[in-house]
Amino acid sequence: MKLVIAADHAGFPLKEEVRAYLANKGHEVVDLGAYEIEPRDDYPDYAERVGLAVKAGQAPRGILICGSGVGVCVAANKIPGIRAGMCHDTYSAHQGVEHDDMNVIVLGARIIASALAYECIDAFVAAKFITGEPRFTRRFNKVRAIEAKYMCGEGSTNPTA
């Protein structure tokens, strides 16, 4: 599978491990940064890179890593069409795709060890959205309706909208 990946300074070491792990398993991994530890970098920049790449179809799924996972998760979910979920267990990693069509997995480098991160990513990559179940499709359509209802328009900067 083709995947995009990015991390801030706190997630950089785990990102490098995950990137190598996925490449060794035969996945095509597009690294969107950081390319070195830079303590002054900002997690929203990397969340936006991954979110926009997935939204544009550069890859069907993405991986984001920061210290806790919370910052990049919040930021990525601001991009229409991105469904990022923080997963520190294999059940959430596959269930998020199967039930909610999650397209970005988020990991907290200060929370999860490498071995468990690999297991979560394997579960995420292997999972497929369950399209034959009416309840999952119904719920997914409700999520999309919420997103459409509150979108201010592509690239809008109106903070009151």
Please determine, for residue 15, whether its predicted confidence score (pLDDT) is greater than 50.
yes
Please determine, for residue 124, whether its predicted confidence score (pLDDT) is greater than 50.
yes
Whether 134 is in a domain gets the answer no
Q: What is the pLDDT of residue 133?
A: 85
State the residue range of the domain holding 29: 2-129
Least Cα distance to 97 among 58, 43, 60 occurs for 60
Please determine, for residue 82, whether its predicted confidence score (pLDDT) is greater than 90.
yes
Q: What is the pLDDT of residue 131?
A: 82
Catalytic residue selected from 27, 87, 99, 152: 99
Mean pLDDT of 71-98: 97
pLDDT digits (tens, 9 = 90+) for 86-119: 999 999 999 999 999 999 999 999 999 999 999 9
Whether 83 is in a domain gets the answer yes
Domain count, the chain: 1
Label residue 154 by pLDDT band (50, 70, 90). low
- 99 tagged catalytic: yes
Whether 161 is in a domain gets the answer no
Whether 6 is in a domain gets the answer yes
- 94 tagged catalytic: no
Please determine, for residue 159, whether its predicted confidence score (pLDDT) is greater than 50.
no
Q: Which amino acid is at 26?
A: G
pLDDT digits (tens, 9 = 90+) for 28-63: 999 999 999 999 999 999 999 999 999 999 999 999
Q: In sequence order, what DSSP letters do the residues of the chain get, joined into one string?
A: -EEEEEE-TTTHHHHHHHHHHHHHTT-EEEE-S--S--TT--HHHHHHHHHHHHHTTS-SEEEEEESSSHHHHHHHTTSTT--EEE-SSHHHHHHHHHHH---EEEEETTTS-HHHHHHHHHHHHH----TT-HHHHHHHHHHHHHHHHH---TT---TT-
Please determine, for residue 156, whether its predicted confidence score (pLDDT) is greater than 70.
no
Q: What is the CATH number of the domain that holds 117?
A: 3.40.1400.10
Mean pLDDT of 3-17: 98
With a threshold of 0.85, does the pTM exceed it? yes
Catalytic residue selected from 66, 73, 87, 120: 66
pLDDT exceeding 90 applies to what percent of the chain? 87
Whether 72 is in a domain gets the answer yes
Whether 151 is in a domain gets the answer no
Whether 75 is in a domain gets the answer yes
Whether 140 is in a domain gets the answer no
Please determine, for residue 81, whether its predicted confidence score (pLDDT) is greater than 60.
yes
